[in-house]
Amino acid sequence: MKYQSQKVALAYFSVAMALFAIQVFGGLLAGWIYVSPNTLSEVLPFNVVRMIHTNALIVWLLLGFFGAAYFLVPEEAERELFSTKLAYLQLGILVIGTLGAVASYLVGIHGGREFLEQPLWVKFGILVAAVIFLVNISLTVLAGRRTAITNILLMGLWLLSLLWIFAFINPDNLGLDKMYWWFIVHLWVEGTWELVMAAILGYLMLKLTGVDREVVEKWLYVIVATALFSGILGTGHHFYWIGLPAYWQWIGSIFSTMEVVPFFAMMSFAFVMVWKGRKNHPNKAALLWSLGASTVAFFGAGVWGFLHTLHGVNYYTHGTQITAAHGHLAFYGAYVALNLAMFTYAMPMLRGRAPYNQWLNMTAFWLMTGGMSFMTFVLTFAGTIQVHLQRVMGEYYMDVQDQLGLFYAMRFGAGAMVVAGALLFIYSLAVVRRQAPAGNAVGEAA
């Protein structure tokens, strides 16, 4: 760690990991309610549990992005952050907003647009925090060295913050409501967040493999170009059945099919860089997470996304367990695993613990990745049966669900594996101590 102000990332990553724990426990509880539906049904109904699960996910991923930006921008710009005070103020606002939102949900105060349930004052808080962040990071970048990594990172963060405006727009007309809602949901994960992902992945590759900056940066521009060229019009794959013009069925199908390209490119990029790189960086766990993130993102977003994106297929699969399978693996691969890669890379430095024993961390990777993959498979099978019975044969929804019990039981098992992995991961970064420098970085358990 070259710059003192990079230290603010430690606070961001710590809060992010605490919310990560809340998120996976919320998910585990929701998974258990599928198995045993009367659980807590009077005190904590499923809709509130799910709200906490999804909101915690989104907030911690964003905190991870903010922290990553505070960590990597000083190194890229070759100067201290404009203001560490502003960075802590921003974090404070976000923490208060998050606690306020969770408390509101628990007493039944919430909105009803999926993922945007936060009370209005929390939405404003998020906006204020985003503005503080953008000012702080932009002033740092403008005064220092400009690189492709910071360019792309900033562009992604500016655009995703701008899109937050649509959180305040809720037309009475349900068709319009749905259309503008996707401006956040889709244009975040299949547009602006991809820029952030590419920038962070590029930074990690630069540090971990020692490949030339020039090579990394050219790849980055190509990756983000394919991301936006496909992802913007790809929004059309959500416009098939909500009252929009029929031309979206063609535009949506064609452009969203091309959305596979940036995810394939990011995976290829990561592997080619490792193969070309001469450096043998001691943080093997960070490398594992980086390669894992780009690979699982390709399968979760690319393959599982394409699976149901053509309008003829989506007519049958829309809003079934197929959607749930895809949503889980895509978020895990592209954004969860990428954030965990960054935490794994930065935390030992932030805490002065490098080099450290990575065995626990790498075990956590395989537990979580194995669990998420298994969950995706069982939900895909459940979804296939659901599509056939409900959408083709016309059997009533609840009767179909009654026949899927076995899959939901296995999904709970997969979820338990993920929770175990998440706890192990947090333990490995928060507790495990520095290792004697002479020791082998990858060795026996701590």
Partner 1 sequence: MSEILTKSRARNVFYGGSLFFIAVFAGLTVQSHSHVVSRSTTSMPLTEEVRLGKEGWERNSCINCHTLHGEGAYFAPEVGNVMTRWGVVDDPDAAAEMLGGWIDAQPSGIEGRRQMPHFELTDEEKRGLSEFLRWADKMNTQSWPPNDAG
Query: Are the CB atoms for 82 and 136 separated by under 8 Å?
Result: yes
Q: Which does 284 bind (CB under 5 to 8 A by kind): ligand HEM, partner 1, Fe ion, none?
A: none
Q: Which does 259 bind (CB under 5 to 8 A by kind): Fe ion, ligand HEM, partner 1, none?
A: ligand HEM
Question: Least Å distance between CB 330 and ligand HEM?
Answer: 3
Nearer to Fe ion, 76 or 190 (CB): 190
Q: Which does 331 bind (CB under 5 to 8 A by kind): partner 1, Fe ion, ligand HEM, none?
A: ligand HEM
Question: Least Å distance between CB 252 and partner 1?
Answer: 11
Please enumerate in sequence order all residues whose Cβ is within 8 A of that of 49, keeping only pairs 6 or more positions apart, or say none: 26, 29, 30, 33, 40
CA angle 50, 53, 54 (to 5 degrees): 90
- Among the candidate windows 142-150, 294-302, 379-387, 396-404, which touches ligand HEM by CB under 6 A? 294-302
Closest by Cα among 332, 370, 329, 343 to 286: 343
Q: Does 114 bind ligand HEM (CB under 6 A)?
A: yes
Among 15, 91, 94, 260, binds ligand HEM (CB under 6 A): 260
Query: Are the CB atoms for 56 and 22 separated by under 8 Å?
Result: yes
**Token pair of 382, please?**
């459940």
Among 318, 353, 401, 424, binds ligand HEM (CB under 6 A): 318
Among 265, 301, 325, 379, binds ligand HEM (CB under 6 A): 301
Q: Which does 233 bind (CB under 5 to 8 A by kind): partner 1, ligand HEM, Fe ion, none?
A: partner 1
Question: Least Å distance between CB 305 and Fe ion?
Answer: 7
Q: Which does 135 bind (CB under 5 to 8 A by kind): Fe ion, partner 1, ligand HEM, none?
A: none
Nearer to partner 1, 37 or 92 (CB): 37
Question: Least Å distance between CB 6 and ligand HEM?
Answer: 27
Binding site for partner 1 (CB under 8 A): 33-34, 36-38, 41-42, 45-48, 50-51, 110-114, 117, 148, 151, 170, 172-179, 214, 217-218, 221-222, 224-225, 228-229, 232-233, 235, 239-246, 248-249, 251, 315-316, 318-321, 323-324, 390-392, 394-398, 401
Q: Does 212 bind ligand HEM (CB under 6 A)?
A: no
- Among the candidate windows 20-28, 61-69, 165-173, 324-332, which touches ligand HEM by CB under 6 A? 324-332
Question: Least Å distance between CB 175 and partner 1?
Answer: 4
Q: Does 326 bind Fe ion (CB under 5 A)?
A: no
Work out the number of other CB atoms within 10 angstroms of the CB of residue 43.
8
Instruction: For tokens 């590029």, name the residue.
Output: 202
Residue ranges that bind ligand HEM, judged by CB under 6 A = 114, 189-190, 237-238, 256, 259-260, 297, 301-302, 305-306, 308-309, 314, 318-319, 323, 326-327, 330-331, 334
Positions touching Fe ion (CB under 5 A) are 186, 190
